[in-house]
Structure 1
Amino acid sequence: MASLTRTLPASWYCSSPLYQLERRAVFLKGWYLLGPVTKFQVVGEKVGYEVAQVPLAARRMSEEPRDIKVFNETTGFELRSYITETGLVFSTISDEAPPFDEFFPDLKPLIGRVDFTKLPYRRSVKYEGRFNWKTMVDGYQECLHCQYTHPSFSVYYPPTFYTVYNHKNFSQHVADPQKPEDGLFLYFFPNCTLNVYGGGMSSFRVCPTEKPGITRMEFDYYHQESGEKFEEYFKFVRQVAMEDYELCEKAQENLEKGVYSEGILNPEKETGVAYYQQRVLELVCAQHETERESESRDIYRSSNRSDSVASQLVDPAAS
């Protein structure tokens, strides 16, 4: 399928049936970042999550920091999880997800640059926003808005040479291609991020609710320092997050009012948006085709059974 040159239509941000198709096509088949092993501090304590209406519980099972298991809260069954060599915990939400290395084949060299077991967990923040999950991902996957919306962030990471490198099911953001070691900014398809800079790390999950125009944001914060040093870092990253929050609510309002329907993507500055939207489009279209073919087969089999029963009623000898 050719690369997108235009955005997904506004209807994809406002339709409940479309979200249910996305849920089956995209979310049930993904892997999700839960955090580094340092988030799971107390043996036996439940750390709760919810992704696409699937409630999860992650638990540290013993004194061994990497002995972490993830369970479906509804069924009680253990879900497949994966802990990277450098200490990041990922989980699935269904059996439909492929193996971790198949989903993220190029990821390990990048995350191997940071020892996440050395970043202490400090704080989490959760709240809902009046926008579709893709509205927030759109904002993260491009930085055309950064200079104007995030002036404080742009001081540290000028967007002049901002580049996004797309891999299979994740993207790496580089503020200055000449300084690839200056910070680590990653987007994990479909809805997780990881940002390591300024002595700390933040990550967020963009969690869709059953309402297409409402999304729950879940942020986790880690830092080498506690006290004043951490609070200074926390204030800075929260300011950036709230600037994005306000931008997303305004964008969603325009989408729902019909002010904006679809637009042309910048072939150089919006490759991250084009990449992830293309993945959504491909998966949703494939899922729709699969379900349509399955429904046709069911109708065909049902029709054959009905014809067989009818023939037996007309001609009992046929049985």
Structure 2
Amino acid sequence: MASFTRTLPASWYCSSPLYQLERRAVFLKAWYLLGPVTRFQVVGEEVGYEVAQVSLTACRMSETPGDIKVYDGKTGLEFKAYITETGLLFSTISDEAPSFDEFFPDLKPLIGTVDFTKLPYRRSIKYEGNFNWKTMVDGYQECLHCQYTHPSFSVYYPPTFYTVYNHKNFSQHVADPKKADDGLFLYFFPNCTLNVYGGGMSSFRVCPTEKPGVTRMEFDYYHQETGEKFEEYFKFVRQVAMEDYELCEKAQENLERGIYAEGILNPVKETGVAFYQQRVLDLVCAQHEAETESTTDTHYETNNHMRQWKLVDPATS
């Protein structure tokens, strides 16, 4: 009998000790999309971010293109940052992250298709939602729900031929493989997205708080147009975002009430979910093993959950 890929258990979405382990295993070792260079136009203006309880600040230091520094918002120490040839700024939040090219070894050809220096910054919004960070990423990484939850989006990007191509630490979403240039939709592990379509670009960061059931969503919007044309685009993308928001809150309720424990992932339509969940699993288990070997003072609850952390490798399903 063939093996099937199982989801992460519901406990992963509800446990504080598990989130703290994720923070050390995943978030401190990753790179994050802060935005295109057009987000940082004013010399000396500080743009603040917070990822996994780490405050960071990005600031354009001079009129020289690309002279942008990213540093710890509390200590002032500089973080590793990288600006791509087409104008996207990425940053780390600790020294534990590898180099940009090691983390995203095959990303540049994809983002090289868009000149992000030509997309003016328009607006940012942020708010909290009552769901775990992975609940939102689960939704972004599959589109089985799109036809029913996003009827307006599905008109332009029908999910019939929807495909996800997974790479090391990122995924590319393609609505129709025969129209590879019809928009650019990327997920950057663990919690950032980039969506270029309709004359504009939106990106969001799924920022976990210290409470596993509460997540802060941060959105940035860019567009060639101003005024009515931008507002029309903004209204459309915000409708899609709020549809996801409502779906995630309902899903989190089921997880916390024990209505859903774990299940089987569709081997064709949910490869994006299997990819990122397996990545989280591998990193968390490796971190737990390393910490267990170095100390005997481990939390009972964490060890209890560890006995549940079993997923089948997607490559064997």
TM-score band w.r.t. shorter chain: over 0.9
Distance (whole Å) between structure 2 residues aligned to residue 4 and residue 67 of structure 1: 48
Distance (whole Å) between structure 1 residues aligned to residue 64 and residue 155 of structure 2: 41
Tell me which residue corresponds to 2:166: 166
Amino acid of the structure 2 residue aligned with 1:175: A
Tell me which residue corresponds to 2:92: 92
More deviation, 58-67/183-192: 58-67
CA shift in 2, pair 1:214/1:4, >3 Å = farther
Contact 2:13 2:212 survives alignment (8 Å): yes
Distance (whole Å) between structure 2 residues aligned to residue 15 and residue 83 of structure 1: 36
Contact 2:34 2:89 survives alignment (8 Å): yes
Distance (whole Å) between structure 1 residues aligned to residue 221 and residue 103 of structure 2: 25
* Deviation digits for residues 44-101 of structure 1 (CA, Å, limit 9, x no counterpart): 0100000000000000000123110000012110000000000000000000000000
Contact 2:21 2:287 survives alignment (8 Å): yes
Tell me which residue corresponds to 1:32: 32
Contact 2:213 2:252 survives alignment (8 Å): yes
Tell me which residue corresponds to 1:258: 258
Tell me which residue corresponds to 1:139: 139
1:36 Cα offset (Å): 0.1
Amino acid of the structure 2 residue aligned with 1:29: K
Contact 1:142 1:272 survives alignment (8 Å): yes
Contact 2:57 2:70 survives alignment (8 Å): yes
User: Where does structure 2 lack aligned partners over 5 or more consecutive residues?
Assistant: 298-317
TM-score if structure 2 supplies the norm length? 0.92
Amino acid of the structure 1 residue aligned with 2:193: T
Q: How does 1:1-319 map to 2 (within 5 A)?
A: 5-296=5-296
1:41 Cα offset (Å): 1.4
Amino acid of the structure 1 residue aligned with 2:277: Q
Tell me which residue corresponds to 1:317: none
Distance (whole Å) between structure 2 residues aligned to residue 42 and residue 4 of structure 1: 51
Contact 1:6 1:263 survives alignment (8 Å): yes
Structure 1 segments of 4 or more deviating over 2 A? none
User: Where does structure 1 lack aligned partners over 5 or more consecutive residues?
Assistant: 298-319
Distance (whole Å) between structure 1 residues aligned to residue 143 and residue 64 of structure 2: 40
1:261 Cα offset (Å): 0.4
Contact 2:4 2:267 survives alignment (8 Å): no
**Per the alignment, in what secondary structure is the counterpart of residue 231 of structure 1?**
helix
Distance (whole Å) between structure 1 residues aligned to residue 241 and residue 226 of structure 2: 20
Distance (whole Å) between structure 2 residues aligned to residue 107 and residue 257 of structure 1: 39
Tell me which residue corresponds to 2:305: none
**Identical-pair percentage:** 87
Distance (whole Å) between structure 1 residues aligned to residue 294 and residue 99 of structure 2: 25
> Which protein is richer in helix relative to its size?
1
Amino acid of the structure 2 residue aligned with 1:68: I
Distance (whole Å) between structure 2 residues aligned to residue 146 and residue 193 of structure 1: 17
Distance (whole Å) between structure 2 residues aligned to residue 296 and residue 9 of structure 1: 25
Tell me which residue corresponds to 1:314: none
* Deviation digits for residues 203-248 of structure 1 (CA, Å, limit 9, x no counterpart): 0000000000000000000000011110000000000000000000
Contact 2:36 2:116 survives alignment (8 Å): yes
**Please, what is the CA RMSD of the aligned residues?**
1.2
Distance (whole Å) between structure 2 residues aligned to residue 269 and residue 132 of structure 1: 22
Distance (whole Å) between structure 1 residues aligned to residue 296 and residue 138 of structure 2: 35
Distance (whole Å) between structure 1 residues aligned to residue 150 and residue 124 of structure 2: 22
Distance (whole Å) between structure 2 residues aligned to residue 274 and residue 46 of structure 1: 37
**Per the alignment, in what secondary structure is the counterpart of residue 244 of structure 1?**
helix
Amino acid of the structure 1 residue aligned with 2:81: S
Amino acid of the structure 2 residue aligned with 1:119: L
Contact 1:4 1:274 survives alignment (8 Å): no
Distance (whole Å) between structure 1 residues aligned to residue 32 and residue 183 of structure 2: 21
